[in-house]
Amino acid sequence: MEIITCIKDAKDLSKKFKTGGQKISLVPTMGKLHEGHLNIVRNALKHGKVFVSIYINPMQFGPSEDFNNYPRDIEGDIEKLRRLNVDCVYMPDDTITKNNKTFIIDDFLSDKLCGLYRPGHFQGVLTIVMKLLSIVQPDFAFFGLKDYQQYILIKKMAEDFFMDVKIMPVPTMREECGLAMSSRNFYFNSADKESACNFYKILNNIRLLFKKGETSVENLKHLTIKELIDKNFTVEYVEIMDKELIGRKTTAETGDIILSAVKFSGVRLIDNIFLE
Ligand code: PAF
C-alpha cells in the first residue's frame, strides 16, 4: 500500500494505474475511520485500484466548529486500510488548500438544510472534492448517503462540469440501535450514545407513520420535531423533500426523503431516511 502526501506523487500513481489499464476509485474521508468508511472502501475495491484520501479540510469548518478537536487517528486508519488491501492512502499536505483563491459555490442548496446552519460549509466541501478529483482523476468516487446533501451537491457539480467521474452513493451503515455511524459518535460517552440512538428511531417511526397513510408533510414534520424535543434533542431542521432535493413539498410521496440535523449533548448529528 502506497502512502502519499504530495500532489505530484498522487498524480503520478494515478497515471501509472491508468497506463496499466486499471480503473481508479477514490474514497475521500477526513479520517478516524469507522465501519461506515470501511464499508465504502469495500464497495470501492470492487471497482479497481482504490485511493483513500484522509484530510481534515479546514475550508469546510466554520469558526465555531470542531476543526481543532476533530477526532484523529492516522496510525489506526493506515492499519485498517492496509488490512483491506487498499492501493493508496493519500494524505495531502496543506499545499492542497494553502493560498487557495478559487472556490466552488453551489447555487441551489447552499441556503437549505445544513447549508443554513453551516454557512460556507458546502463551498469548502465542493472545493476540496474538486481538488481531489482533479489530482487523482478517478473513474469512480464514493460518498456515504448519511451526508445526503453533500452527495447530491457533489453529483451535481460533477454533472455541471462534465467531469469524467461517476459519483457512487453508498448506503448509511448504522450501529445496532440504528444510530448512523459517524466520526462524531466518538464524542459521546456510552449513556449519551444510547440516548442519541433515539434520533434514528424517531425518523424511522415517522417513516412507519407515512407507510400507514399519513402524507401531510406539515403533520409528519410537526410530529418528528415534537418527538425529538421530547427526547432532549435540539432540532436544527426536519425537512421532507424529493430525492433530488429540488423543493419542499406539502404532500409526501413514496421515494421522498426525510432529512434532519439535531444537536445532542453538544454533538451535531445528521441523518435521513427514505419514505417507502
Ligand atoms: O464527508 C466527508 O468526510 C467530507 O466532507 C469529505 C467528502 C471527505 C470532504 O472533506
Smallest CA separation from ligand 1 atom 5, residue? 125
Which pLDDT value is given to residue 247? 83
Do residues 226 and 260 touch, judged by C-beta distance below 8 A?
no
Query: Which residue is closest in CA terms to ligand 1's atom 7?
Result: 28
Run of H or E residues at 225:
helix 217-230
- Contact assessment for residue 70 and residue 56, using Cβ atoms and an 8 Å cutoff: yes
Residue 174 CA, chain-centre distance (Å), reads: 14
Domains and CATH numbers, the chain: 2-170 (3.40.50.620), 183-274 (3.30.1300.10)
The whole-number pLDDT of residue 39 equals 98
Q: State if residue 125 touches ligand 1 by the CB under 6 angstroms criterion.
A: yes
CA of 47 from ligand 1 middle (Å) equals 20
- For the chain, residues with pLDDT lower than 70 are none
What is the rounded CA–CA span in Å between residue 190 and residue 47? 37
pLDDT of amino acid 248: 80
| Sign of torsion over alpha carbons 272, 133, 116, 232 | positive
Q: Whose CA is nearest to atom 1 of ligand 1?
A: 29
Q: Does ligand 1 lie within 6 Å of residue 29's CB atom? A: yes
CA end-to-end span of the chain: 42
Burial 185-215 (b: 16+ CB within 10 A, else e): bebbeeeebeebbbbbebbeebbebbeeeeb
Atom of ligand 1 nearest to the CA of 147: 1
Check residue 11 and give its pLDDT. 98
For residue 205, the CA-to-ligand 1 centroid distance in Å is 29
CA of 242 to the centre of ligand 1 (A): 23
Q: Is any atom of ligand 1 closer than 6 Å to the C-beta of 54?
A: no
Q: Is 34 in the pocket of ligand 1 (CB under 6 A)?
A: no
Taken as a whole, the chain contains a residue count of 276
* Grid cell in block for residue 248: 419542499
User: Is 37 part of the annotated catalytic residue set?
Assistant: yes
Whether pTM exceeds 0.85 = yes
Q: Which of 91, 94, 129, 165 to mutate to test the pocket of ligand 1 (most atoms within 8 A of CB)?
A: 129
Q: What is the residue type of 29?
A: T
Closest residue to atom 8 of ligand 1, CA basis: 29
3-state helix, strand, coil in the chain (%, to 5): 40, 20, 40
CA of 20 to the centre of ligand 1 (A): 29
Looking at 34, 37, 121, 222, which residue is catalytic?
Answer: 37
